[in-house]
Amino acid sequence: MTSCEYQRQLSAYYDGELPDEQAAELQRHLRQCESCRRELRRLEAISAVLVSAALGRPSREAVERWRGAFRPARARAILRLARAVTAAAAAILLVCSVALWQRWSRPPESFRQAAAWEKLAASPPSGQVAAAILAGDDSAEADESPDVQLAQSILGSLGGAEGSGND
């Protein structure tokens, strides 16, 4: 290996980051190469200058400000959590409300049947129709619903004594 190639390894060797085998080989080379030894001394000098610069020292006020960051940060985190929980609860409430509204706005089948009863009670079939039904006349006009037919037959038997159909 030429000196130039070894010099490229010097940076990692100086940092103690070369694999053991390569480091051992470079150590042997250093015993014979003044150029690489000089280069290694330059790396040490660069380190010394950079470390001695020790740039900057924080002010006491800055350190106190950093320490004081805890409470506002915790408060913000709690607020974010509260907002997320509130939003989730509102979404669940909205979904449930829509589902309940849809259920309540559509009457069930039994209600529709009760409405049919109410209609019949409000406007019972004529006595002739009821009589025809009671007589088993299939040509009589009648609602196909068994419940309505039953209602008609009952109303017919009840209203037949009065003798006239209602509107």
Partner 1 sequence: MSLATDALYDGGSDGDAELVRRIRRGDEVAFCGLVDRHGRRLYTLAYALLGNSADAEDVVQETFIGALAGLGGFRGQASLKTWLTRILVNRVSKLRRYRKVRRAMAIEDMDDMPGGGGSAGAAQADRADIRMDVAAVLRRLPAHQRTVIILREMQQMSYEEISTVLGVPRGTVESRLFRARRRLKSLLKDYLP
Residue (of 163, 166, 122) closest to 151 by Cα position:
122
Work out whether 122 is an interface residue with partner 1 (CB under 8 A): no
- Pairwise CA distance, residues 87 & 64, whole Å: 36
Secondary element (H or E) of residue 117: helix 109-122
Q: What whole-number distance in Å separates Cα of residue 146 and Cα of residue 163?
A: 24
Q: Which is nearer to partner 1, 16 or 108 (CB)?
A: 16
Which three-class secondary structure string do you get for 31-93? CCCHHHHHHHHHHHHHHHHHHHHCCCCCCHHHHHHHHCCHHHHHHHHHHHHHHHHHHHHHHHH
Q: Where does this chain touch partner 1 (CB under 8 A) — which range of 27-35, 46-54, 84-92, 115-123?
A: 46-54
User: Contact between 46 and partner 1 (CB under 8 A)?
Assistant: yes
- Could you say which of 1, 24, 50, 115 contacts partner 1 (CB under 8 A)? 50
Please work out, in degrees rounded to the nearest 5, the angle formed at the alpha carbon of residue 114 by the alpha carbons of 126 and 129.
15
Decide: is 63 part of the binding site for partner 1 (CB under 8 A): yes
Q: How many residues sit close enough to partner 1 to count as binding (CB under 8 A)?
A: 33
According to CB under 8 A, which one of 1, 24, 62, 98 is a site residue for partner 1? 62
Residue closer to partner 1 by CB (options 8, 119) is 8
The piece of 73-81, 92-100, 104-112, 118-126 that touches partner 1 (CB under 8 A) is 73-81
Q: Does position 4 bind partner 1 by CB under 8 A?
A: no
Q: Residue with structure tokens 């290694």?
A: 40
Whether residue 26 contacts residue 10, with contact meaning beta carbons closer than 8 Å, is answered with yes
Is 17 one of the binding residues for partner 1 (CB under 8 A)? yes
Residues forming contacts to partner 1 in the complex (CB under 8 A) are 8, 11-12, 15, 17, 41-43, 45-47, 49-59, 62-63, 65-67, 69-71, 73-74, 77
